[in-house]
Structure 1
Amino acid sequence: MTCPYHDTGDSMPASATEAIVRDEKAQLDFSHDMSYGDYLQLDAILTAQKPLSPAHDEMLFIVQHQTSELWMKLMLHELTAAIRNIAADELNPAFKQMARVSKIMEQLVHAWDVLATMTPPEYSAIRPYLGHSSGFQSFQYRCIEFAMGNKNAAMLKPHAHHPERAAMVQAAYEAPSLYDECLRLMARRGIAVPASHLERDWTQPYEASEAVEQAWLQVYRNPKQHWDLYQLGEELTDLEDAFRLWRFRHVTTVERVIGFKRGTGGTGGVSYLRKMLDVVLFPEIWTLRTAL
Structure 2
Amino acid sequence: MSQAEHGTDRDAPERAHTDFGRRLSYGDYLRLDTLLSAHQPITGAHDEHLFITVHHVSEVWLSLIIRELQAAMTLLAAGVTDEPLKMLTRVVRAQEQLTAAWGVLKTMTPADYLQFRGAFGEASGFQSAGYRMVEILLGNRNPVLLRPFEHRPDQHGPLHAALHAPSVYDLTLRLLAARGLPIPAEVLERDYTQPPVENPGVLDAWLTVYRDPERYWDLYELAEKLLDVEDNFRAWRFNHLTTVERTIGFKTGSGGTSGAGYLRRALNVVLFPELWQVRTSL
Q: Under TM normalisation by the shorter chain, which class is it? A: over 0.9
- TM-score normalised by length of structure 1: 0.92
Structure-1 separation of matches of 2:185 and 2:110: 51
Pairwise CA distance, 1:153: 0.8
Q: Does 1:222 align with 2:212?
A: yes
Q: Does 1:20 align with 2:19?
A: no
1:237-258 deviation per Cα after TM superposition (whole angstroms, max 9, x unaligned): 1111111100101100110111
Q: 1:235 aligns with which of 220, 225, 243?
A: 225
Q: 2:24 aligns with which of 24, 34, 43?
A: 34
Pairwise CA distance, 1:279: 0.3
* Structure 1 residues without counterparts, runs of 5 or longer: none
Aligned residue in 2 for 1:157: 147
Structure-2 separation of matches of 1:230 and 1:205: 23
Task: Please give the secondary structure, in 1, of the residue aligned with 2:115.
Answer: helix
Aligned residue in 2 for 1:287: 277
Structure-2 separation of matches of 1:192 and 1:163: 40
Runs of 4+ in 1 over 2 A off after TM superposition: none
Q: 2:253 aligns with which of 263, 278, 289?
A: 263
Higher share of residues assigned helix? 2
Q: 2:102 aligns with which of 92, 102, 112?
A: 112
Pairwise CA distance, 1:122: 0.4
Structure-2 separation of matches of 1:63 and 1:172: 28
Pairwise CA distance, 1:92: 1.2
**1:162-241 counterparts in 2 under 5 A?**
162-241=152-231
Of all paired residues, the percent bearing the same amino acid is 50
Pairwise CA distance, 1:49: 0.5
AA partner of residue 93 (structure 2)? K
- TM-score normalised by length of structure 2: 0.96
AA partner of residue 146 (structure 2)? L
Structure-2 separation of matches of 1:244 and 1:200: 25
Task: Please give the secondary structure, in 2, of the residue aligned with 1:58.
Answer: helix
Paired residues, what number?
A: 277
Q: 1:89 aligns with which of 68, 79, 99?
A: 79
Aligned residue in 2 for 1:251: 241
